[in-house]
Amino acid sequence: MSDRHLIHWPPQVPRHLEVPAMHLFRNVETSAARHPDKPLFIFYDSVTTHGRFKADCERLAGHLQQVCGVQRGDRVLLYMQNSPQFAIAYHAILRADAVVVPVNPMNLGEELRHYIRDAGARVICAAQDLMPQVLPLLREGRAQGSASTAGEGDGLQHAVVAAYSDHLDVATDLRVPDFVRAPAQTFDEPGVVCWRAALAADRQPGPMLAGADDLAVLPYTSGTTSHPKGCMHTHRSVMVNTVARPVWMGSLPDSVQLAVLPFFHVTGMQNAMNGTIYLGATAVIIPRWDRDVALESIQRYRVTGAQLISTMVVDMLSHPHIEDFDLGSIVSIGGGGAAMPEAIAAKLKALTGLDYIEGYGMSETMAATHINPLQRPKRQCLGIPIFDVDARVVDPGTFAELPPNEVGEIIVHGPQVMRGYWRNPQADAETFVEIDGKRFLRTGDLAYVDEDGYFFMVDRLKRMINASGFKVWPSEVEALMYAHPAIQEVCVIGTRDPRRGETVKALVVLRATHRGQVSEADIVDWAHARMAAYKSPRIVEFVDHLPKSGTGKILWRELQQQEAARS
């Protein structure tokens, strides 16, 4: 790798990062010892201190071990929106020496079923509003065998159910969504325990046995196949970016982070949750984007840092009274997933005096491998490789490194790269390549490096749609859509969307028996009821046929190019 980027390395930031080689829960213990009464999370004006957080994590870990039978290395699903309970469940699972499997709360029944089966999970921590998705799978799992006889792969046996309102301790004038303020429900169901009861029992966990190289988190990422794949991250690889971003950004224990990016995704998980705990700092949690609550929270709690995707910034800056809010406490604002439009970046700079700091990373790298230097960021730019990362742009066929301004595939080697895909050696073989004695991850992203060593995204080698920063893999959506009895063939492509950047479109060939019996809107509604909203097609177009290659494969690239030309 060229060292051109080192010329613009942030001043006073080391080039090598010495990361603690220890269990992630040690961060919880350390911050609770240093700042027991300091707010860790602020949730609609209700406060969870670092001390209370540690105690609640340990109580829940005791329940997971003693009631649910969770053992070292077991995978436990975590299915919630951003909340104090998400962070408590996450670290309770780690405290029990188990592996966190974060699940997008927008995922529905069949999607959730795949995570349970693939991870071999027998326990789930879920929010009560998501229990309609969980209960059928729990009943199905329990029907396959009792908790005392069930083995790995026998399905769900236990659920801990959280009501977000359990952490609303004070009255607030902020707008609280109905699903957050809803009172706790009771579930008369075998294997189901409510959150408060689990903690009230005050069961204490056994000693921590896992080490830095044990599995800690298994985030799933979809790919070119129809099923999402688990990315195996150890305590060590998660710790890397838990520490790296605060060091790069110069964050301090007195920082206050706006935690609105989803915790189930590695960016929100690492920066707003794990990074805040590591620093002994404070995060203001918002479960779903609400610009009024976000702006009021920034003003009320003197927020110093905010990670927002471009659509959130667009929405925030379009607030009719944006100039009435005091945003002067913010010292950094940034994000990733989709490039920030030039005009919006300029408007943000004019309003706050701040550059939008873009970065680049993947579930496979547990967040960032590249971030722009604060003192010299470039717009619509992925940034430069951070601590101990060897990132190159190479010819996708030969893996020869390319000179500046030539487009090739990004490959990365670094301490935050996953161990591999969960029980999927074929995917590993396709994803990793050895060069110069190093194991590199093929990202599938096409980019170039400029003369200064900054990386710029150009296109994708893999077939993927980027909808508001969410990755949508067409093959996965197609596999779900083929369950509709009227669909004979389907091809999913991306199309331009003024708000989301891209949105999902499905070209559908109907079976002859269903033509005239079902509408495009019917298919849209059907899909929306069966898959996460971000991946569900917003547009369905009926066509007579889909173009195919000589071997019968649908020519999706040709259809994608036609759509791009149209839009």
CATH code of residue 65 = 3.40.50.980
Residue 22 lies in a domain: no
DSSP state, residue 403:
P
The 3-state secondary structure of 228-254 reads CEEEEEEHHHHHHHHHHHHHHHCCCCC
- Asked if residue 341 has pLDDT above 90, the reply is no
For residue 13, CA distances in Å to 16, 251, 373, 376, 377 come to 9, 12, 10, 14, 15
Confidence of residue 146 (pLDDT cuts 50, 70, 90): low
Q: pLDDT tens digits, residue range 193-234?
A: 999 999 999 999 999 999 999 999 999 986 545 588 999 999
Domains in the chain, number: 2
Report angle CA 445, 450, 455 to the nearest 5 degrees: 35
> Is residue 95 assigned to a domain?
yes
Q: Is residue 52 part of a domain?
A: yes
Does residue 239 lie within any of the structural domains?
A: no
Domain end position, chosen among 157, 192, 210? 210
Tell me if 216 is assigned to some domain: no
Say whether 391 sits in a helix, a strand or coil: strand
pLDDT in tens, 457-505: 886 677 788 888 787 888 788 878 888 999 988 999 999 988 888 899 9
Tokens of 82: 């951003």
In whole angstroms, what is the distance from residue 106 CA to residue 502 CA? 18
**C-alpha to C-alpha distance for 268 and 531, rounded to whole angstroms:** 22
pLDDT band at 149 (very low <50, low <70, confident <90, very high): very low
| Range in 1-10, 83-92, 159-168 the model is least confident about | 1-10
Residue 189 maps to a domain: yes
Evaluate whether residue 431 is within a structural domain: no
From the list 388, 399, 100, 124, the residue with the least C-alpha distance to 269 is 100
Range of the domain at 80: 46-210
Residue 304 has pLDDT above 90, yes or no: yes
Helices (H), 18-123: 25-34, 50-66, 84-95, 109-119
Residues near 50 by beta carbon (within 8 Å), at least 6 away in sequence: 28, 31, 32, 34, 35, 36, 37, 38, 40, 277, 280
Task: Say which residue, 548 or 58, is predicted with more confidence.
Answer: 58
Q: What angle do CA 559, 565, 567 make, to 5 degrees?
A: 100
What are the tokens at 100?
């966190």
| pLDDT-wise least confident of 46-50, 249-253, 314-318, 420-424 | 314-318
pLDDT attached to residue 150: 43
Rounded Cα distance, 117 and 102, in Å: 14
Residue 203 domain flag: yes
Q: Please, which residues have CB within 8 angstroms of residue 132's CB and are 6 or more apart in sequence?
A: none
Percentage of the residues of the chain whose pLDDT score is greater than 70: 96
* CATH code where residue 512 lies: 3.30.300.30
**Residue 279: phi, psi to the nearest 5?**
-75, -20
Which tokens go with 328?
């002067």
What is the Cα–Cα distance from 439 to 213, expressed in whole angstroms? Answer: 17
User: Average pLDDT, stretch 337-352?
Assistant: 85
Of 143, 176, 210, the last residue of a domain is 210
